[in-house]
Chain A
Amino acid sequence: MVTLPVRQPIGLAMHSATAELTLTDLAARIRRHVVELAANSPGAHVGGSMSVTEILTVLFFDDVLRVDPARPDWPDRDYFIFSKGHSSAALYAVLAERGFFPVEELATYKQPGSRLPGHPSKGIPGVELATGSLGHGLPVGVGLALGASRDGADNRVFVVLGDGECQEGSNWEAAMAAAHYRLENLVAIVDRNQFQEDGPTEQIMALEPFADKWRSFGWGVTEVDGHDVHALGAALHQLPVTPGRPTCVIAQTVKGHGLSFTSNTHAWHYGKFTPEQRRQALVELGFNPEERP
């Protein structure tokens, strides 16, 4: 285990020194971390990390999730399950910036002795469920949401899914159950970036009409621009979309968003940045490549 000094978390409206940071600024910081992790480790799932960045930023920094980084096991917390666990670079960056663990610890990503493997394992502060094998998050979310509702508690459950992940049948078993039990405390957010490992979803295994599938399963559905922090915030502050029903937020995103050479392709589903690619990426994001985060 690598021990590192605790650094103050950076969160909007939480620390006056950084209160002027906008959600867009924070999203850029998350992408900067993803670039560094992709450059300084054996590799990272760049495409899905870049597409999910604003979703995670809004969940954790726009007062959507009721969480306390100092108390990851707080009984009153909202449960957050990152079902598309391969995009761990973005998840770890957000958890670190939110204060669940030191930002410096990100440098240990995929390094020997680190607690940050390529796919989130148990025991990482802020990680409820080990993910990376797809199709696990929503069924476990159903159990958490059922448990909370049977307790008469107001905890909510947020599950972030990849779009390719929705080809796993377990999601539709869970979708059926969530509607049956009228779990309005359950929210699925799908990072609809149009690509999976082997290519475009509509070529590999078509998902469309995607929103209709969720609607027909009995969910309230809303579609938003997944890179517009204001649209995401508006959607996630008006839950449930339909009273008495679970909510599915389909976030229309671009795989690899934010960098010219990783956008809208599955070529950067996973990869390692060369020093030159790192430099170019940081410049495109507006950071000085000579500085470390």
Chain B
Amino acid sequence: MTAAVGVVAGSPALPGSPEWVAEHGLSAVDTSRLAQLDAAGSDGRVYSVEGDLGDFGGLAFAERYPNRFLDMGIAEANLIGTAAGLAMRGKIAFVNTFGSFALMRACEQVRLEVAYHASNVKIVGTFTGIAAGFSGPTHHCAEDMAIARALPGMVVLAPADAVAAYQLTAAAARYQGPVYIRLGVDPTPQVYDHNATFAIGGSNVLRDGGDVTIVAAGLTTVATALAAATQLAGRGIEARVVDLYSVKPLDRAVLVDSARQTGLVVSIEEHSTIGGVGSAVAEVLAEELPTPVHMIGLPDEFAHEVCSYAAQLRRCGLDADSVAATVENQVQRWKR
């Protein structure tokens, strides 16, 4: 009934290895699609459900498993409903569309049909943050994690790079229940190699340091945090860097332990500072170990100015130089 029989799935190279990166590149959108393709090869329940954005990396799935590739056109309420219905039929439904379309245009569908019913639907939201740069505010998405986090039972994953995107998409396929995966647009800097491990509810401490903890999540930002930490080390500030890729559920133990060791915490996210990663960090620390938390993220305004992604990041203080300067100021404010 499905086209999966006899197809050898996946690439022989380990995800994150130099050969793998050379073959598949560093676009998290592409590698999430690759993970879906590989999952479909080993599990006939995996479907790809599209909202007329399948050409963003989905054509290989369409070609290999046409019976399980369903384009629902430009109609997101029905897109989510179809995915939920497929899940109720026992399928693993990957919905690939822009994050804003899934979580805002069809928010109530996601709430009722996916979250409340704990449906086995995986929403892969692309074009989040300000990654769409020049495309303008209709294509930016600064609120998705706030919305997804507030939905009971929804797992929220923000991979740091293309390697994490592959691994976390694979983890989402294995996980029973609703998952939101936050992705961007273009290739982003590589953070992880083939030795990296990920788990829903986990985190990775990427650098140790005793002066401040930088908590980051998502494409670009984790790499930026690491670059900022390198700069800070040259100024005598040792920053611990935590990749909090599992934004919900989050790794409370590592957060509390980090706060205890460094005191000050600075969060970085390409998302509104209302309701995102910084809020999640502050919610935990307020309860467990009250600690100063400074949030670096998108300001509470629409990114109306027409400019590139890189320029948008600089404008919002999300480039490495700005992050280093902000962290240094916060260290001086709280610790000197």
Contact = CB atoms under 8 A, between A and B. Distances in A.
Given A128-B88, A150-B1, A151-B1, A173 B117 contact: no
A148 B86 CA distance: 8
A138 B93 CA distance: 18
B116 interface: yes
A160 B67 CA distance: 28
A166 interface: no
Interface in A127-142: 128-130, 133, 135-136, 138-142
B208 interface: no
B89 interface: yes
Contacts of A143: 81-89, 93
Interface string A101-136: 000000000000000000000100000111001011
A135 B81 CA distance: 10
Contact of B85 (A122, A144, A151): A144
B60 interface: no
A130 B116 contact: yes
Interface string A140-168: 11111111101110000000000000000
Contacts of B77: 135, 139, 169-170, 173-174
B269 interface: no
A105 B95 CA distance: 39
Contacts of A151: 1, 89
Main secondary structure of the interface of B (DSSP, over half): helix
B102 to A, nearest CB: 14
B90 interface: yes
B91 interface: yes
B72 A141 contact: no
Interface of B: 1-2, 67-68, 70, 72-73, 75, 77-78, 80-91, 93, 108-109, 112-113, 116-117
A169 B74 CA distance: 13
Nearest to B2: A150
Given A122-B117, A142-B81, A176-B73, A147 B1 contact: no
Interface in A175-195: 176-177, 180-181
19 contacts: A129-B113, A130-B116, A133-B112, A136-B81, A136-B112, A139-B78, A139-B80, A139-B81, A139-B84, A143-B88, A143-B89, A147-B86, A150-B68, A151-B1, A170-B78, A170-B81, A173-B75, A174-B82, A177-B72
A184 B93 CA distance: 22
Nearest to B111: A133
A152 B89 CA distance: 13
A141 B112 contact: no
Main secondary structure of the interface of A (DSSP, over half): helix
B117 A130 contact: yes
A139 B85 contact: yes
A139 B89 contact: no
A129 B73 CA distance: 24
Given A176-B75, A177-B72, A140 B89 contact: no
Nearest to A150: B67
B88 A177 contact: no
Contacts of A176: 73, 75, 78
A133 B112 CA distance: 9
Contact of A147 (B90, B109, B112): B90
A150 B49 CA distance: 13
A199 B1 CA distance: 49
Interface in A42-57: none
Contacts of A133: 108, 112
Contacts of A140: 81-82, 84-85, 88, 113
Which of B72, B80, B91 neighbours the largest number of chain A CB atoms within 10 Å of its CB?
A: B72
Nearest to B84: A140
Nearest to B83: A143
Contact of A142 (B2, B85, B91, B109): B85
B83 to A, nearest CB: 6
A148 B116 CA distance: 23
Contacts of A150: 1-2, 67-68
A176 B80 CA distance: 15
A129 B90 CA distance: 14
B78 A146 contact: no
Given A128-B88, A147-B88, A174-B82, 19 more contacts: A129-B88, A129-B113, A133-B112, A139-B77, A139-B78, A139-B109, A139-B113, A140-B88, A143-B93, A146-B70, A147-B85, A150-B1, A151-B1, A152-B1, A170-B81, A173-B78, A177-B75, A177-B82, A180-B73
A122 B88 CA distance: 12
